[in-house]
Every structure is written in C-alpha cells, then in structure tokens.
Amino acid sequence: MARSAKSSAKPGCANRVSPAKPGGDGTRSLPRRRGGRVDAATVAEIFRRFAAANPHPEGELEHTTTYTLLVAVVLSAQATDAGVNKATRPLFKIADTPQKMVALGEERVREYIKTIGLYRNKAKNVIALSQQLIAEYGGKVPHDREALESLPGVGRKTANVVLNIAFGEPTMAVDTHVFRVSNRLGIAPGKTPLAVEEGLMQRIPKQYLQHAHHWLILHGRYVCKAQRPRCEACIVSDLCTAPDRILPVTPPAPV
Ligand code: SF4
C-alpha cells in the first residue's frame, strides 16, 4: 500500500512528514517554504503538471447561458454541484431567462430548489436578482464586477466564477477547495479567501491564470480532500510540503 507507515493517523498529526534532504538518489528534494510559501519555480511546476494532465478543465455546474450560470452559482453556496444540477435541470427547462424566472415566481422556484440548503433565501435572491437584471441591465448579465456584486445573493466569489467562465477573465474564485489546496501546497497561503485570491493572482504564471481555479477546485474535490487527502494519487505530491500529506512510497510518474 503506497502510504507511509503512519498513514492511519489523523491528517495533521502523527503522519507529519519531514522535508527530504537533497540527495543522490535521483529524486527531487522537496521545495523549501519561506513564510509558508513555496518558491516561484515550484508554483510554475505545479501548474505545468495540472495543465498537462487536464488542458481544458471545466466547471461542473450545468448551465446553458450566462444567466443560468449565474443562477447555478448563486444556488451552489454551501451545496454540492451535483445537488444543484439535480435541482436546476427541471428548473432551467421552464425558466432559463430572468423574465421566465420572475413569471415563475418565488414560491414555485422554492419548490424546484427545496433539496438545496438555504433554499428559501436562495429562491428569494434568484427572483430579486432576475428583477434587477430586467430593470437595470435589459435582462442581460452585466460584464462588470461591481454590477454583478450589486445583485442579491452575488458576492465576490460568484462574480469571479461568472467573470471567468462566461466572460473569459482570468479571475480566481476561492471556494473551500481552492482555499485549502492553496494553503496546503503553499502556493498562496492566507487566512482569508481574499488574501488567498490576491496571492494566487500574484503568484500563478500568466499562462495558467485562466484555468487555475478549475484545476485547484478539481484537485481539492477529488484528490486533496479535506479529511483524507489522496496523496498516493496526487501528481504534485513530490512538491508538497503540507504537514498533513501522506507520503507515497514511490514518487508519482512524471506528467
Ligand atoms: S500530496 Fe497530499 S496533501 Fe499534498 S497536495 Fe497532494 S493530495 Fe494534497
């Protein structure tokens, strides 16, 4: 089994690993951290591997238009993408524009999304933001951060997702996965989502910025999980100095 001898211990406790010393055994020594951050060359190598493994990463929230993307992201707060998709599939069949959503009404929207956490408040926000889009933006989703963040239920993270996916801007939406992975790998350590976002924007090489948040989300969701990171399946484990990583016996195959 490709784990350290203490892999059954809780992450962050007894399975703490010490940085390897540079040696003549042909393996790469672990990057050093300064102030919790790995160096720029390591950041570049991490994203080179993410890009090589998955050149065209995509978000997992189903949508057909910028408007349905916005609604799906608003609904996804504290909910899984799979749960949101299950609710929005029938909803978007009958309401894929602000006008149709307003015509549907808050009570019926609530019925469609009642399997999602905080659904009452979210239904209220979906109707209110649809009304605002009609009243102020001709029923279109504005390509403007300030305007997006003025919509009910839309915060910085939601605006970043919409600006990135719908408008192709290299923004960095920091959700729980991006926050955790950025801290664990030492790419952009920070105590708040905004600090991590700013660190990522400064440190990720330009050519990777457009897709970076998708790579980090997917890595956090499927590999670098919160409770039990799958370090044995991690393509950057030899670059990781996280105290809660679980050392593979053999280094990952080069990507
Ligand atoms: S080695 Fe483990 S802790 Fe480090 S990034 Fe990979 S999965 Fe996460």
Active site residue 175: yes
Cα 84 from Cα 72, distance rounded (Å):
7
Please tell me which residue in 175, 191, 206, 225 is annotated as part of the active site.
175
Q: What atom in ligand 1 is closest to the CA of residue 236?
A: 6
User: Where exactly are the structural domains of the chain?
Assistant: 1-58+170-255, 66-165
Tokens of 203: 């440190």
- Angle between helix axes 206-222 and 176-185 (nearest 10 degrees) is 100
Tokens of 70: 């916005």
Ligand 1, from 217, 224, 249: best to mutate by most atoms within 8 Å of Cβ?
224
CA 209 to ligand 1 centroid distance, Å: 21
> What is the full per-residue pLDDT of the chain (255 aa) written as tens digits?
333 333 333 333 334 444 443 333 444 566 667 658 999 999 999 999 999 999 999 999 999 999 999 999 999 998 999 999 999 999 999 999 999 999 999 999 999 999 999 999 999 999 999 999 999 999 999 999 999 999 999 999 999 999 999 999 999 999 999 999 999 999 999 999 999 999 999 999 999 999 999 999 999 999 999 999 999 999 999 999 888 777 655 656 667
Say which CATH topology domain 66-165 has: Endonuclease III; domain 1 (1.10.340)
Ligand 1, from 178, 179, 234, 255: best to mutate by most atoms within 8 Å of Cβ?
234
Residue 219 near residue 226, CB atoms below 8 Å: no
Please tell me which residue in 122, 157, 238, 244 is annotated as part of the active site.
157
Judging by beta carbons within 10 Å of its beta carbon (0-12, 13-18, 19+), is residue 99 exposed, middle or buried? middle
Q: What does the pLDDT read at residue 107? A: 98
CA 245 to ligand 1 centroid distance, Å: 5
Active site residue 81: no
Residue 172 near residue 208, CB atoms below 8 Å: no
Ligand 1, CB within 6 Å, residue ranges: 184-185, 223-224, 229-231, 234, 236-237, 240, 242, 245
Look up the pTM and report it: 0.83
Strand (E) or helix (H) holding 41: helix 40-53
Q: What does the pLDDT read at residue 244? A: 77
Instruction: Name, in order, each residue with C-beta under 8 angstroms of 139's C-beta and a sequence gap of 6 or more.
Output: 97, 98, 99, 133
CATH code, residues 1-58+170-255: 1.10.1670.10
The per-residue DSSP string of 73-92 comes to HHHTTTS-HHHHHHHHHHHH
Name the residue at shortest CA distance from atom 2 of ligand 1: 231
Cα 102 from Cα 134, distance rounded (Å):
9
